[in-house]
Structure 1
Amino acid sequence: MYIRHSEDIWKDYPELAAGVLYARGIRSSGVSVDMHTARFESVARARLAGNAEGEFPEIQAWRRAFSRMGLKPTQYRCAAEALLRRFRKEGALPKIHPLIDLCNAASLAFAIPIAVFGLQKVSGYLEVRHASGKETYATFAGEIEHPEEHEVIFADQEGRAHARRWTNRQSGYSAVRNETTSVLIVAEALHAGAPTDIKRLTDQLGEAIGTVWAVDPRSAVLDRLAPRFDF
């Protein structure tokens, strides 16, 4: 299996930096991520005390990207902005699954969208590319949608879209569940300094995953010269 961004994506968004982590041995019971999520959330809380999430350079870069994709940024927000917005208003995020909770907290701290895919539901590979309009996407409610032509999606070998509008919304089909054991985590950024921040995020998240689950995740930072990660 592998993940890659298409050449068209790198051509259109040369500023993109992507961090990926692959981990096996994930479980939902008998583990606690509280110490790590608290640390990440404290960073986010301090940033939000100074400025609203819409003023963060990381979020502004994604808003510009969404505008370039023909999407209204305040209607379709990247996942990090949606999380920060909820965290600012409610002071906390709901508990879902230890790994999701950890990745959501890291996303808050870095203001960078993070996707987490349960690999048992992914066929062959994942490619971030423009949709043909024929792909299928399953919502968390189980409804089937078809991404619009040229929309940026995460697609697998069977033409299943595991995320729509790039970093806006993941599919319920490959969401992490209690039975999930193998995962692929993808963090993407477009702002100035993105490669450095993506490396820091990947390192810190990998260290936390290794500590909590006693596993050794593999990771990489992708760019146009090294666009593919095999796992």
Structure 2
Amino acid sequence: MGHGPGRVVIPNVEEEIMRFRHAEAVRAAFPELSAGALYATGVDASADTGPRAAVHTARAAARLAAGTEGEFPEVLAWRRTFTRMGVKPTQYRCASESLLRRLRKEGSLPRIHPLVDLCNAVSAAYAVPVAVLDADRVAGPLLEVRPAAGDETYTTFAGGTEHPAPGEVTFVDSAGRAHARRWTHRQSGHSAVGERTRRVLVVAEAMHDSGAEILPELLKTVEEEVAAHWRAVTTTALLTPGAPEFLFGG
């Protein structure tokens, strides 16, 4: 996470109602998906989340002491998902596996932004990918996790431009901008949380058998941490086939 040089922030003055969802094609192909989302307004870069992030990181480290991340059912489930997408799972890892791998090898997680650091620590603790997007950098009214058409634009953290391959699952907004590569592998530099971020969308996605039981706990953890560190207004929702959309903003 983070952002490349020359970032220009365009305030979302009207703060339109936004919709986040997984496309029917994605839910049909991956019925084991469990997902949840949180929207928060009033966050900034001033909070000291280090102590609490350390608590969650310690939980992940304790689990790693008993076995590598490649043995975790949460990680194995995402590896199977990547394989089904035609992606080599040991070349492109889901975000939580990458965090756990770094923690195991280096003993710590990167410091990027207070909220990102906190969510990365929670992601490692639960071994579940957690994306954090600057809501003002997402073009509404719809952000959808769907197969790419091939003409979407993805901005790297170095400021370069890529186009997800047709069929690659990604987060696509109403302007045709891709906010991720290979679903949960890597987020976009365009919507990365930074110094000027005030509104965020947090998305957690699990593929393992107990994902539906874990997601409410994970969302509650993030919501409680945000409330403890910022005077933020939050909204959360679990996303299911029967209730697939999360409305936020406005």
TM-score between the two structures when normalised by the length of structure 2: 0.91
Give the unaligned 5+ runs of structure 1: none
Deviation (angstroms), 1:35? 2.6
Q: Which residue of 1 aligns with 2:125?
A: 109
Q: Which residue of 2 aligns with 1:181?
A: 198
Q: Which residue of 1 aligns with 2:55?
A: 39
* 1:204 counterpart (213, 218, 221): 221
* 2:82 counterpart (36, 48, 66): 66
Q: Which has the higher helix share?
A: 1
The amino acid across from 2:77 in the alignment is A
Q: Write the deviation string for residues 141-199 of structure 1: whole angstroms up to 9, x where unpaired.
A: 11111100000000000100001100001110000010000000000000001011111
The amino acid across from 1:56 in the alignment is F
Structure 2 Cα separation of the partners of residues 227 and 156 of structure 1? 16
SS at match of 2:20: strand
Structure 1's consecutive aligned runs of 4 or more residues displaced over 6 angstroms after TM superposition are none
Q: Write the deviation string for residues 19-44 of structure 1: whole angstroms up to 9, x where unpaired.
A: 10000001102x11123212111110
Deviation (angstroms), 1:216? 3.1
Deviation (angstroms), 1:120? 1.1
* 1:156 counterpart (170, 173, 198): 173
Structure 1 Cα separation of the partners of residues 165 and 103 of structure 2? 30
Structure 2 Cα separation of the partners of residues 223 and 180 of structure 1? 28
Structure 2 Cα separation of the partners of residues 82 and 42 of structure 1? 16
- Report matched runs for 1:74-89 at 5 Å: 74-89=90-105
- Report matched runs for 1:117-136 at 5 Å: 117-124=133-140, 125-136=142-153
Q: Which residue of 1 aligns with 2:186?
A: 169
Aligned length: 230
SS at match of 1:129: strand
% identity of equivalent residues: 53
Structure 1 Cα separation of the partners of residues 68 and 224 of structure 2? 29
Is contact 2:38–2:203 with CA below 8 Å preserved after alignment?
A: yes
Structure 1 Cα separation of the partners of residues 180 and 81 of structure 2? 16
Structure 1 Cα separation of the partners of residues 118 and 148 of structure 2? 30
SS at match of 2:183: coil
Structure 2 Cα separation of the partners of residues 38 and 187 of structure 1? 20
Q: Which residue of 2 aligns with 1:18?
A: 35
Give the unaligned 5+ runs of structure 2: 1-17
Q: Is 1:50 matched up with 2:69?
A: no
TM-score between the two structures when normalised by the length of structure 1: 0.98
Structure 2 Cα separation of the partners of residues 226 and 194 of structure 1? 17
Structure 2 Cα separation of the partners of residues 44 and 134 of structure 1? 38
Q: Is 1:213 matched up with 2:234?
A: no
The amino acid across from 1:49 in the alignment is A
